[in-house]
Amino acid sequence: MTAVCPNGHESHTADYCDQCGARLGAAGASAPAAGATAVLPVVEEFDTSPSTRRDPCPVCGSARSGDDRYCESCGHDFESPAPLADTWEAVAVADRAQFDRLATADVTFPDGYAERRFALHEGENRIGRSHGRPDEAAPEIDLAAPPLDPGISRLHAVLERRADGTCVVRDLGSTNGTAVNDEPAPIAPHTDVALSDGDRIRIGAWTTITVRRL
Amino acid sequence: MSSFTLDAYQNEYLPLGGTDVNAIVTITSDGSGGPAGAPEAAVILIIDASGSMGVPNRKIKAAREATRVAIDCIRDDVRFGVIAGTDRARLLYPLDGHLAPASAHTREAAKQAVGRLKAGGGTAMGSWLALADQLFATAPGRTCHAILLTDGENQHETPEQLDAVLAQVDGHFQCDCRGVGTDWQVSELRRIASQLLGTVDIIPDAEAMAEDFRTMMSRAMGKTTGNVSLRLWTPQGARVAFVRQVAPTIEELSDRAAQINELTADYPTATWGAEARDYHVCVNVPPRDAGEEMLAGRVSLVEGDQVLGQALIKATWTSDQQLSTRISREVAHYTGQAELADCIQDGLEARKRGDDGTATFKLGRAVQLAAESGNDGTMKLLQAVVEVDDPATGTVRLKRDVAVVDEMSLDTRSTTTVRVGTGAT
């Protein structure tokens, strides 16, 4: 037996919608004026008329029903900015060569560091390490998980993907600085440095982040 | 099988535009069912027999004694075995390579075999765990529990070798780790224990080993429910910020998620006896309009596909700041306990680096948090490392001469929390 939520989802749970979490049963202030059942999407409604037809989900390709904000199958948010044509990712690894070159006393190279991958979304992607406090937004590229590189500042640098398809790195005045590729000197703080596919960003005692265009 | 109760504590009111939903979920298991209804179990004792265990000789003697005490705690019909670990793993009991069903006869035979535990050789813990895994495979379908004792560093294999074994045996058995003396690495044992969902602790003095082993084995025997997972459903568009166990100890579970479908993931919690644990769940949800209520998370406890209990995490948006700025007492308490553990670990690390400024600040903050939350156990351990001038403001001075054992005890036990409301605040 299924219930229908104010957003038109069929839910297998009776208390809250098992898709969007909306409260079932009591029509609260949030329920559409027309009443819950009246806005039930009907398949023909968005399949026949070109004016009301909805593009399928750009992520998983499933058909989109009515005015749903979220994709029924993968949960994609249709109101989020359209994804850029190309995708970039940042891959953080523990870099033995960098560690040996710096030879920082009292810091040990981590035993076992799983490669960490981060998708870069449009705009600013902060590199840093979170405090784990709920009142504090974690940086997008959060390197707080152990093994922790002690040389990374809480808010270290920013990787920015611009609308024109380029990508830059900007040091945020970190304690130990940010370097790019094999350049020994760190980049100037608060200054954009353009990146290309495959560039390596070196931070802390042993962390290297490689940016890749996919 | 135990019966379980789940309760969620939170302030469900969010300010307009607010996205972070925090809740503490308390899970209580009554341990009912007793040993008769208990899952079929298997246990292996893994005892370090490296050369250092013979220096001084009372260490290996204490280990033999403790192992015998633990063997006596094993319930009839539980499959068991004993491994002696050096730079390779050697089976002490039973010699036929199949875990033995416990009985008066086999317990006696195993206790005799423990006499052959002699110190000599190196340390390669990965090989010990790999042998334990092979042995557990001879008792399929049982809840498997290992106890590992060491006194030194994992010198005779690379960290990569240990990691490879941990990845291979993960999910097969639970492992409690104990370090005796002060020559072992806290980070190494913590890594093993946390991957294998066990506890880690220091046994500063070899004489205390037998009592600790008795407690550990009795607890393992008191488990009444097998492989249990915490299942978290979140709505479309939501993101799980973190899931962590916050009592009795802090264990980060966020990276242990096994995705069930797009909206649901399982987090391992291993076995349960009569006990209570608390979990902190933080979910980011897309904001809605004032007055709208939504379910931000459905937390259930599952064994296979059987649901043992559930709790709801809700979100309601409001323009009433009186409602939205209130912080749940439980959430505030455990946020503090997590910061306490971080401060101790950061502070000790800074102290080792010689960065006294950071160490004083971090350990001072730790003292303040321990005092506020009534975490007397941690406070006592902190006092061995710093002189406390004023706990209310976190004013401390680093002690010049700190015994290694005090520093390691503080590090090992930094993740032990007190439950909300139990402190003397």
Whether the pLDDT of residue B192 is over 90: the answer is yes
Co-location of B67 and B179 in the same domain: yes
Q: How does the average pLDDT of chain B come out, rounded?
A: 92
Given pLDDT bands bounded at 50, 70 and 90, which one contains residue A42? Answer: very low
Check whether residue B189 and residue B63 sit in a common domain.
yes
| Mutation for testing the A interface, residue in B154, B163, B187, B236 having most A CBs under 10 Å | B236
Q: Which residues, other chains included, contact B187 with Cβ-Cβ below 8 Å and sequence gap of 6+? A: none
Q: Which helix (H) or strand (E) holds A47?
A: helix A43-47
CATH of the domain at B204: 3.40.50.410
- Residues 152-211 on A with a CB inside 8 Å of B are none
pLDDT greater at residue A179 or residue B423: A179
Contact across the interface for B160 and A29, Cβ inside 8 Å: no
Residue B240 counted as domain residue: no
Q: Dihedral sign, CA of A118, A120, A126, A127?
A: positive
3-state secondary structure of A118: strand
Position A83 pLDDT exceeds 90: no
* Complex ipTM over 0.95: no
Instruction: Flag whether B425 is in a domain.
Output: no
Question: Closest-CA residue in chain B for A144?
Answer: B342
DSSP A137-205: PPPSEE--SSSP-TT--SEEEEEEE-TTS-EEEEE-S-SS-EEETT-SSPPPBT-EEEE-TT-EEEETT
Domain assignment of residue B369, yes or no? yes
Residues B65 and B163 in one domain: yes
**Mean pLDDT confidence for B73-77:** 93
Q: Is the pLDDT of residue B421 over 70?
A: no
B201 shares a domain with B90: yes
Answer CATH for A88-213 from 3.40.50.170, 2.40.420.20, 1.10.1740.110, 2.60.200.20: 2.60.200.20
Q: What is the pLDDT of residue B396?
A: 95
Q: Looking at the complex, does the CB of residue B282 fall below 8 Å from at least one CB of chain A? A: yes
Q: Which tens digits make up the pLDDT trace of B243-261?
A: 999 999 999 999 999 999 9
pLDDT in tens, B155-180: 999 999 999 999 999 999 999 999 99
Q: Which residues of B241-254 are buried (b: 16+ CB within 10 A; e: fewer)?
A: bbbbbbbbbbbbbe
Contacting residues of B for A21, CB less than 8 Å apart: 234-236, 238, 285, 294-296, 315
pLDDT for position A28: 42
Examine the domain organization and report whether B49 and B171 are in the same domain.
yes
**How far does A174 lie from chain B, in Å, by closest CA?**
16
CATH number at residue B286: 2.60.40.3670
- pLDDT of amino acid A155: 87
In a domain, B341, yes or no: yes
Considering the domain boundaries, does residue B45 fall inside one? yes
Which residue of chain B is at minimal alpha-carbon distance from A107?
A: B353
Residue type present at position B143 = T
Predicted pLDDT of residue A132: 66
Residue B353 touches chain A, beta carbons under 8 Å: yes
Q: Write down the mean pLDDT value for chain A.
A: 77
Whether B22 is in a domain gets the answer yes
Among B178, B206, B221, give the residue marking a domain's end. B221
Q: Output the pLDDT for position A26.
A: 55
CB spacing of B352 vs A106 below 8 angstroms? yes
Residues B104 and B121 in one domain: yes
Q: Are residues B65 and B168 in the same domain?
A: yes
Q: How confident is the model at residue A36 (pLDDT cuts 50, 70, 90)?
A: very low
Do B198 and B347 fall into the same domain?
Answer: no
Statement to judge: residues B56 and B167 lie in one domain: yes
pLDDT digits (tens, 9 = 90+) for B303-357: 888 899 999 999 999 998 888 888 899 999 999 999 999 999 999 999 999 999 9
Q: Mean of the pLDDT values across residues B32-46?
A: 75
pLDDT value at residue A45: 34
Judged against a pLDDT cut of 90, whether residue A61 lies above it is answered with no
Residue B423 within any structural domain of the chain = no
More confident residue, A53 or B250: B250
Looking up residue B409, the CATH number of its domain turns out to be 1.20.120.1690
pLDDT for the residue numbered A100: 85
Residues B195-253: tens digit of each pLDDT: 999 999 999 989 999 999 999 999 999 888 888 999 999 999 999 999 999 999 999 99
Per-domain residue ranges of chain A: 88-213
Instruction: State what percent of residues in chain B have pLDDT above 90.
Output: 84
Region B30-58 average pLDDT: 82
When pLDDT is cut at 50, 70 and 90, the band that residue A51 belongs to is: very low
Same domain for B214 and B97, yes or no, is: yes
**Per-residue pLDDT for A202 more than 80?**
yes
Mean pLDDT of all residues in A8-26: 88
**For residue A119, what is the DSSP state?**
E
- Judge whether residue A40 has pLDDT over 50: no
Could you give the percent of chain A with pLDDT greater than 90? 19
Do residue B284 and residue B358 come from a single domain?
no
Instruction: Count up the domains in chain B and report the number.
Output: 3
B421, part of any domain: no
Q: What is the pLDDT of residues B112-168, one digit of tens each?
A: 999 889 999 999 999 999 999 999 999 988 999 999 999 999 999 999 999 999 999
Give the distance from residue B179's alpha carbon to the nearest chain A alpha carbon, in angstroms. 19
List CB contacts (< 8 A) between B282 and chain A.
Answer: 134
B212: containing domain? 40-221
Interchain contact A144–B (C-beta under 8 A): no
**Would you place residue A82 in the very low, low, confident or very high pLDDT band (cuts 50, 70, 90)?**
low
Residue A142: half-sphere exposure toward Cβ, Cα within 13 Å: 14
Handedness of CA B143, B146, B147, B153 (dihedral sign): negative
Say yes or no for a CB contact (<8 Å) between B291 and A29. Answer: yes
User: How far B238 CA lies from chain A's nearest CA (Å)?
Assistant: 8
Q: How far is CA B104 from CA B79, B93, B295, B321, B395, in A?
A: 13, 15, 54, 66, 57
Residues in chain B: 425
Predicted TM-score of the model (pTM): 0.69
Does one domain contain both B211 and B65? yes
Asked if residue A137 lies in contact with residue A154, where contact means CB atoms within 8 angstroms, the answer is no
Inform me whether the pLDDT recorded for A159 exceeds 50.
Answer: yes
